[in-house]
Structure 1
């Protein structure tokens, strides 16, 4: 069973407050730390430590981009 995190807890994993760089998508939290595209917790105009479910609509890629990252938890409201 995956650990659960709130939005507030996720926000701390932004690559600046802590070394983890995490993003949520459709209720799952992914560790995007290994990606050079997320260095410093920023990926173009997107910031780590957030739920990116709504923002993916505007991305030049599909949700399959998350397949290469490890799921580290579930997001709860």
Structure 2
């Protein structure tokens, strides 16, 4: 598998469904493109906002990390 490009938190924040057409979220250092998900329209999914690292918020979600297998990994979050 080719190495994914790295993005900063600031670059991820621009993919919030408002500033750029892409809607991205990060989980455990991997950035996923959720643009095509009807659940992420306008960059919001329940109380969660796109363009950020959702790792700490997943514990409160009604689903597990397995939900991310549906989405394409597009990058790595720079530490």
TM-score range, shorter chain: over 0.9
Alignment RMSD: 0.4
Residue of structure 2 aligned with 1:56, choices 54, 58, 66: 58
- What is the aligned partner in structure 1 of residue 71 from structure 2? 69
- Extract structure 1 runs of 4+ deviating beyond 3 A: none
Q: Distance in 2 between matches of 1:31 and 1:2?
A: 13
1:63 positional shift: 0.3
Q: Distance in 2 between matches of 1:17 and 1:35?
A: 18
Q: Distance in 2 between matches of 1:2 and 1:63?
A: 19
Listed as ranges, the gaps of 5+ residues in structure 2 are: none
Q: TM (normalized to structure 1)?
A: 0.98
- What is the aligned partner in structure 2 of residue 7 from structure 1? 9
Residue 26 of structure 1 pairs with residue 3 of structure 2: no
1:48 positional shift: 0.2
How many equivalent residue pairs?
Answer: 77
